[in-house]
Amino acid sequence: MEDLAIGTRVAHPVYGEGIVSKSHLTIYEIFFERGGKVELTKYNSDITVLESLEEAPRTGLSLPEVEEAITYVLEKHNGLSQVVDMADKWKGGVLEMKPADSSLQAKEVSMEAFFHKIVMVRDRLRVLEQNINTNSKLDVEDKVHLQQYITRAYGSLTTFNVLFAEKDDYFKGQKTK
């Protein structure tokens, strides 16, 4: 159902005719002839529009706008991890680690599990980087010093770029001049 504007006339099989008085994020407040003020979910299929207003004033953010705002804030503060795809050629594969001593047992790890660990290291480095940059107790020199260690760590992890499906997800170390 489309978002109903305040003043829209509606009908409901139980409550009769009514007028939308408020539009909240997920519910409408409607005054019905039978039942008075009733709050109904915006997804209620029993509501029939009798007369809608073409240009009604907005009463706040729509659900998609709220979702977009929440996503922006969570991403900004690392509340959401970015979905990173592994290159197709590694899917279903196995990483086998064999010790030099043949009497010792080899270890196998699924490529998916290994890739997940690599991505988690990257995500944790990014969180560390943000924490350093926003830390009020560190001076600029300390921040730069710690940032250089993180950059070198990224550089050490560039070997694993072959696992990523997209170049945008690659580890990037310090640029050489």
Tens of pLDDT, residues 10-39: 999 988 999 988 888 888 899 988 878 889
**Residue 158 confidence (pLDDT) above 70:** yes
Q: What mean pLDDT value characterizes the chain?
A: 84
Other CB atoms within 10 A of residue 8 CB: 22
Q: Residue 131: its pLDDT value, please?
A: 82
pLDDT attached to residue 174:
66
Q: Is residue 47's pLDDT more than 80?
A: yes
- Residue 58 exposed, middle or buried by CB count within 10 Å (0-12, 13-18, 19+): exposed
Q: What is the mean pLDDT of residues 47-59?
A: 72
pLDDT of residue 136: 86
pLDDT score of 79: 57
> Which segments of the chain are extended strands (E)?
9-12, 16-23, 27-32, 36-41, 48-51, 94-97, 107-110
- pLDDT digit string (tens) for 123-156? 888 888 888 888 888 898 998 999 888 888 888 8
